[in-house]
C-alpha cells in the first residue's frame, strides 16, 4: 500500500464508474427513471467522497458535476435528457482516464484506448489474483494435513481400545495385588475410568473439530476459486457503450445485448480478448447494421441488434458477435482486395476464402476514413488476439440477414458444473453441459466388432468406450470380464457417444485448472481440478471423448501384468502430483504419503518396489525414514531415491550414509533422469 497509495481507490472507482455508466445507458433506454437516478446519485456521491479521502480534488469535482447533471434529470425529466446523458458519459470517461493515471510508474494501467477495461481492473477484484493463487495453494496443503490428522484418529481409537482392556484387567486383578501395591482397588479403578473418559473425550472432540475444519476448508477453497475468476459480464458495459457511441457517430439506432455474463473466466483471457471484442462490436455497427431508412425498406425493425455471447465448450471459450445487418458484401471485399493487390487470383476464390482475407487486415470497404471505420485494421485485431491465446477466429455471413464472427480460445481457468464419475479408482469430471443423459448398460447390450463397441441409444447405434480405455496410455482396452456399466451419453462437436464408468459420484461446481507442464498429453483430458481433499483430479473434454469413442479401439483379451509399485513421500501437494503423473505415465503404480511416519505404516502393509523420498518434512525427515526402513527386515532391501531441494555436499553424503541409492536435486529435476534411475533399480512393465 505504501508503494501504491491509490490501489484500492482505483479498484473502487472503476467499480463505481462501471455502475454509473451502465445506469446512464439504462436511463437512455427508458428504464424506470425514479429508481435509477437516486441510485446513480448515491454512486456519484460515494465516488466524490472516496476521491476526497485520497486528495484527488479534480476527480471529486468531476463526480460532483455528475451529481449536478443527474439532479437536473431528476428534477426536470423532460428537459435536455439527451444532453445530460452525454454530459455524464463524458465525465465518466474523464474520471476513468484520471483514475488510470494514478497507477504507479511501470504498471500496465495507463489509460486504455477505446474504453477497454484496464488489465489491472480485470486482474484485481478486491484481492490480487497472485495473492489468491497463494491462498489456494495454502488451502490445498492445509487440507492435506487435515487429512493426515484424520488418519491419525485410527491410532487414537486404538488407544481407546487399549484403555478398555486396561480397565477390564484392573477390574479382574486380585485384591491381594492391590494390597501389595498399596493402591486400593477403588482408586485404581477410578484412575483407569478417568483415563478412559479422557481418551474418549479427546477422540470425540478431535473428530468433531477435524470434521468442522474439513467442511470449512472446502467452503473457503470453493469461494476462493470463484473469486479467482472474473465474470465475462465485466466487459459488457464497455461493449454496450462502444455500440452506442459508434451508432451515434453514424446516425444509426442499435440495441446491444450481452449473453453469458455469468460465465467466469481467467482474467488473462478476458484481458487479451477485450480489445478484439470492442472491435467486433464496432465493426458490427459500422459495417453490418444498416441506416434506419435502409432497414425500413428491407422490412426490418428500425433498431439494429448486436449480440455478444460468451459460452464455454469443453476446454475452450467462444466469444460470438452477431448482428442482424446487411451481411458482408463479398464482392466489395473482393474488389477492395484486388485494388490493394493483396491476393492474386482473387476472382477464383470462394466466399469463405474471401472472408478469410478480412482477417489479414489492410482491407476496408468503407468509402472514407472516420472515427469508426475505414482503415482496414478491424478484424486484424481480432486475429492477433486469437493467435496470442492459441485460438482461432471464423466469419460467416448471409446477405440481408447479418454476420456472425466467432473468436474461440483455450481456457486457462474456468468455473463449471460437472458430473463426477469413477473408473478404476480414478475420479474424473465431465462438464454437465456436454452430458445428454445417463443409463445402465448390461453386457448383452454392448455390440462388439473389430472397430470397437457400440450400444443403441434413442433407436440408433452410437459408439461405446470404457473410460479406463480412454485414459490408458496405449489406447488398447485391457482384458475385462462381462459386467454392467454406468454409461454417460456425451455430446461433442462431431456427434454423441457413450462413455462407460464404474459408478456416478454426483455433481459438483469445479474450477478447471491447466495440467502440469510435464503431465502426459491425453486428447480427452481438458485439465484438472482439486477435490475436497486437495487432490488433483481430471476434467474430461467432451469433443475428445467422442473422438476417442468414434475412432474405435481394438479389444484385445490380454492379461494384465503387475505394475511395480512406488511410494512417493513428500509433504508438497505439487511435487506429489507431478511425480505421480510421471510415474503412472511410465507404467508404474504410484502411491503417496505426506510424512515419513505415514510412509512407514504403508510400507509395512504393502510391498513397494521403490521409495521416492523428500528430505524436509514435518516430523520424521527423509534421512530418518530411510534409516528406519533399513533397520526393518521387511523393508531393508527396498531401494530409495531422495528428491529434495537441499543440494549441499554434506546432505548428499548423509544420503549415501543412510543408504539412499540416488539423490536428485529438485532444482535440477529431469524426468528422463528420474525414470532412468528407477528402471535401473526396479525395472518397468
Q: What is the mean pLDDT of residues 183-212?
A: 72
Q: What is the mean pLDDT of residues 482-505?
A: 88
pLDDT reported for residue 1? 45
Backbone φ, ψ for residue 461 (5° rounding): -75, 140
pLDDT reported for residue 567? 92
Q: What is the mean pLDDT of residues 645-670?
A: 83
- CA–CA distances in Å: residue 231 to residues 241, 415, 507: 18, 10, 22
Does 408 score more than 70 pLDDT? yes
pLDDT reported for residue 13? 84
DSSP state of 284: I
Measured between alpha carbons, how far is 486 from 639 in angstroms, rounded to an integer? 41
Backbone φ, ψ for residue 515 (5° rounding): -70, 150
Does 268 score more than 90 pLDDT? no
Query: By C-alpha distance, which of 484, 486, 483, 487 is closest to 462?
Result: 487
What is the percent of the chain with per-residue pLDDT over 90, rounded to a whole number?
A: 17
Does 305 score more than 90 pLDDT? yes
> Which residue did the predictor score with more confidence, 483 or 231?
231
pLDDT reported for residue 176? 63
Give the cell for residue 277: 471484442
Measured between alpha carbons, how far is 170 from 404 in angstroms, rounded to an integer? 85
Q: pLDDT band for 121, please (50, 70, 90 cuts).
A: low
- CA–CA distances in Å: residue 227 to residues 135, 215, 528: 11, 19, 18
Give the cell for residue 313: 465448450
pLDDT reported for residue 350? 66
Asked whether the CA dihedral 15, 20, 21, 27 is positive or negative, the reply is: positive
pLDDT reported for residue 254? 93
Query: By C-alpha distance, which of 300, 575, 337, 545 is closest to 428?
Result: 545
Q: Is residue 610 exposed (0-12), middle (13-18) or buried (19+ Cβ within 10 Å)?
A: buried
Residue with cell 479382574: 172
> Which residue did the predictor score with more confidence, 656 or 374?
656
Query: CA dihedral defined by 650, 656, 661, 664, rounded to 10 degrees?
Result: 0
Alpha-carbon Rg for the chain in angstroms: 33
pLDDT in tens, 366-392: 544 344 443 344 577 788 788 877 788
- CA–CA distances in Å: residue 183 to residues 95, 193, 199, 531: 85, 15, 22, 54
Q: pLDDT band for 300, please (50, 70, 90 cuts).
A: very high
Query: By C-alpha distance, which of 294, 312, 311 is closest to 303?
Result: 294
pLDDT in tens, 79-119: 557 777 888 888 998 998 888 888 887 654 444 445 555 55
Measured between alpha carbons, how far is 591 from 608 in angstroms, rounded to an integer? 9
Q: What is the mean pLDDT of residues 286-298?
A: 91
Measured between alpha carbons, how far is 516 from 513 in angstroms, rounded to an integer? 9
Query: By C-alpha distance, which of 599, 656, 650, 585 is closest to 629?
Result: 599
Residue with cell 469535482: 61
Task: Determine the distance from the C-alpha atom of residue 682 to the mean position of all C-alpha atoms in its chain, rounded to a whole number.
Answer: 37
Q: Containing H/E element for 605? A: helix 596-605
- CA–CA distances in Å: residue 311 to residues 233, 256, 331, 409: 12, 17, 32, 11
Does 477 score more than 50 pLDDT? no
The pTM assigned to this predicted structure is 0.49
What is the percent of the chain with per-residue pLDDT over 70, rounded to a whole number?
A: 73
> Which residue did the predictor score with more confidence, 409 or 511?
409
Measured between alpha carbons, how far is 111 from 98 in angstroms, rounded to an integer? 8
Q: What is the mean pLDDT of residues 414-432?
A: 85
Q: Containing H/E element for 464? A: strand 460-466
The percent of the chain in helix, strand and coil, each rounded to the nearest 5, is: 50, 20, 30
Q: Containing H/E element for 61? A: helix 57-75
pLDDT reported for residue 323? 95
Q: Is residue 299 exposed (0-12), middle (13-18) or buried (19+ Cβ within 10 Å)?
A: exposed
Report whether 372 contacts 286 (CB < 8 A): yes
Give the cell for residue 136: 489456494
Q: What is the mean pLDDT of residues 20-49?
A: 81
Report whether 251 contacts 291 (CB < 8 A): yes
Does 484 score more than 90 pLDDT? no
Does 143 score more than 70 pLDDT? no
Query: By C-alpha distance, which of 591, 597, 602, 592 is closest to 628?
Result: 597
Measured between alpha carbons, how far is 358 from 383 in angstroms, rounded to an integer? 10
Backbone φ, ψ for residue 85 (5° rounding): -60, -45
pLDDT reported for residue 465? 92
Pairing of β 402-410 and β 503-512: unpaired
Measured between alpha carbons, how far is 677 from 685 in angstroms, rounded to an integer? 15
Does 633 score more than 50 pLDDT? yes
Mean pLDDT score across all residues of the chain: 78
pLDDT reported for residue 296? 92
Q: Which of 50-59, 342-351, 391-400, 449-458 has the lowest mean pLDDT?
A: 342-351
pLDDT in tens, 442-474: 888 888 876 788 999 988 999 999 998 888 754
Torsion-angle region of 106 (φ positive above 0: left; ψ -120 to 50: alpha; else: beta)? left
Does 623 score more than 90 pLDDT? yes
pLDDT reported for residue 198? 77
Does 182 score more than 80 pLDDT? no
Residue with cell 472514407: 368
471: CB partners within 8 A, 6+ apart: 423, 424, 426, 428, 522, 524, 525, 538
Report whether 33 contacts 27 (CB < 8 A): yes
150: CB partners within 8 A, 6+ apart: 210, 214
- CA–CA distances in Å: residue 318 to residues 277, 405, 409: 11, 10, 7
297: CB partners within 8 A, 6+ apart: none
Amino acid at each position: 500500500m505504501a508503494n501504491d497509495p491509490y490501489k484500492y481507490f482505483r479498484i473502487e472507482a472503476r467499480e463505481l464508474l462501471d455502475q454509473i455508466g451502465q445506469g446512464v445507458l439504462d436511463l437512455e433506454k427508458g428504464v424506470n427513471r425514479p429508481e435509477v437516478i437516486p441510485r446513480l446519485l448515491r454512486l456519484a456521491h460515494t465516488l466524490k467522497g472516496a476521491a476526497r479521502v485520497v486528495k484527488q480534488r479534480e476527480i471529486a469535482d468531476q463526480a460532483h458535476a455528475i451529481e449536478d447533471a443527474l439532479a437536473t434529470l431528476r428534477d426536470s425529466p423532460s428537459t435536455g435528457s439527451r444532453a445530460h446523458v452525454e454530459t455524464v458519459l463524458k465525465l465518466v470517461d474523464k474520471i476513468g482516464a484520471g483514475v488510470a493515471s494514478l497507477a504507479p510508474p511501470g504498471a500496465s494501467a495507463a489509460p486504455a484506448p477505446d474504453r477497454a477495461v484496464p488489465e489491472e481492473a480485470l486482474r484485481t477484484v478486491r484481492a490480487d489474483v497472485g495473492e489468491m493463487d497463494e491462498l489456494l495453494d495454502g488451502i490445498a496443503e492445509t487440507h492435506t494435513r487435515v487429512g493426515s490428522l484424520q488418519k491419525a484418529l485410527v491410532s487414537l481409537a486404538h488407544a481407546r481400545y487399549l484403555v478398555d482392556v486396561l480397565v477390564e484387567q484392573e477390574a479382574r486383578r486380585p485384591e491381594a495385588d492391590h494390597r501389595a501395591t498399596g493402591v486400593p482397588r477403588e482408586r485404581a479403578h477410578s484412575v483407569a475410568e478417568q483415563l478412559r473418559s479422557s481418551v474418549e473425550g479427546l477422540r470425540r472432540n478431535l473428530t468433531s473439530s477435524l470434521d468442522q475444519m474439513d467442511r470449512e476448508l472446502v467452503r473457503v477453497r470453493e469461494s476462493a476459486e470463484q473469486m479467482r475468476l472474473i465474470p465475462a459480464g465485466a466487459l459488457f458495459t464497455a461493449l454496450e457503450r462502444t455500440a452506442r457511441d459508434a451508432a451515434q457517430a453514424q446516425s444509426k439506432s442499435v440495441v446491444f445485448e450481452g449473453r453469458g455474463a455469468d460465465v467466469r473466466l481467467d482474467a488473462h483471457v478476458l484481458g487479451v480478448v477485450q480489445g478484439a471484442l470492442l472491435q467486433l462490436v464496432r465493426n458490427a455497427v459500422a459495417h453490418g447494421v444498416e441506416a434506419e431508412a435502409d432497414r425500413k425498406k428491407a422490412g426490418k425493425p428500425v433498431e439494429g441488434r448486436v449480440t455478444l455471447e460468451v459460452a464455454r465448450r469443453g476446454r475452450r471459450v467462444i466469444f460470438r458477435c452477431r448482428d442482424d445487418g446487411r451481411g458482408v458484401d463479398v464482392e466489395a471485399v473482393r474488389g477492395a482486395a484486388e485494388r490493394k493487390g493483396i491476393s492474386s487470383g482473387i476472382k477464383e476464390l470462394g466466399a469463405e476464402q474471401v472472408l478469410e482475407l478480412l482477417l489479414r487486415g489492410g482491407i476496408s470497404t468503407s468509402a472514407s476514413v472516420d472515427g469508426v471505420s475505414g482503415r482496414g485494421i478491424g478484424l486484424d485485431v481480432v486475429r492477433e488476439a486469437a493467435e496470442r491465446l492459441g485460438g482461432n477466429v471464423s466469419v460467416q455471413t448471409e446477405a440481408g440477414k447479418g454476420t456472425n464472427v466467432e473468436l474461440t480460445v483455450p481456457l486457462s481457468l474456468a468455473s463449471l458444473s460437472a458430473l463426477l464419475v469413477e473408473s478404476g479408482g480414478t475420479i474424473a469430471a465431465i462438464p454437465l453441459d456436454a452430458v445428454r443423459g445417463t443409463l445402465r448398460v448390461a453386457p448383452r447390450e454392448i455390440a462388439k466388432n473389430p472397430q470397437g463397441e457400440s450400444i443403441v441409444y434413442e433407436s440408433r447405434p452410437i459408439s461405446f468406450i470404457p473410460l479406463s480405455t480412454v485414459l490408458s496410455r496405449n489406447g488398447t482396452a485391457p482384458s475385462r470380464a462381462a459386467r454392467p456399466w454406468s454409461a454417460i451419453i456425451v455430446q461433442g462437436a462431431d456427434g454423441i457417444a457413450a462413455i462407460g464408468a464404474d459408478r456416478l459420484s454426483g455433481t459438483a461446481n469445479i474450477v478447471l485448472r491447466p495440467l502440469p507442464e510435464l503431465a502426459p498429453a491425453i486428447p480427452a483430458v481438458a485439465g484438472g481440478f482439486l477435490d475436497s481433499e486437495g487432490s488433483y483430479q481430471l476434467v474430461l473434454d467432451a469433443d475428445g471423448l467422442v473422438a476417442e469413442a468414434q475412432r474405435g479401439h481394438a479389444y484385445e483379451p490380454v492379461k494384465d501384468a503387475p505394475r511395480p509399485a512406488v511410494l512417493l513421500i513428500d509433504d508438497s501437494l505439487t511435487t506429489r502430483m507431478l511425480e505421480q503423473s510421471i510415474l503412472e505415465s511410465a507404467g508404474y503404480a504410484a502411491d503417496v504419503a505426506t510424512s515419513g511416519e505415514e510412509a512407514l505404516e504403508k510400507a509395512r502393509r504393502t510391498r513397494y518396489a521403490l521409495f521416492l523420498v523428500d528430505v524436509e518434512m514435518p516430523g520424521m525427515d527423509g534421512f530418518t525414514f530411510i534409516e528406519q526402513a533399513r533397520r526393518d527386515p521387511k523393508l531393508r532391501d527396498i531401494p530409495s531415491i531422495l528428491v529434495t531441494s537441499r543440494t549441499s555436499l554434506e546432505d548428499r553424503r548423509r544420503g549415501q550414509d543412510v543408504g539412499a541409492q540416488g539423490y536428485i536435486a529438485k532444482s535440477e529435476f529431469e524426468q528422463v533422469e528420474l525414470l532412468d534411475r528407477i528402471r535401473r533399480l526396479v525395472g518397468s512393465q
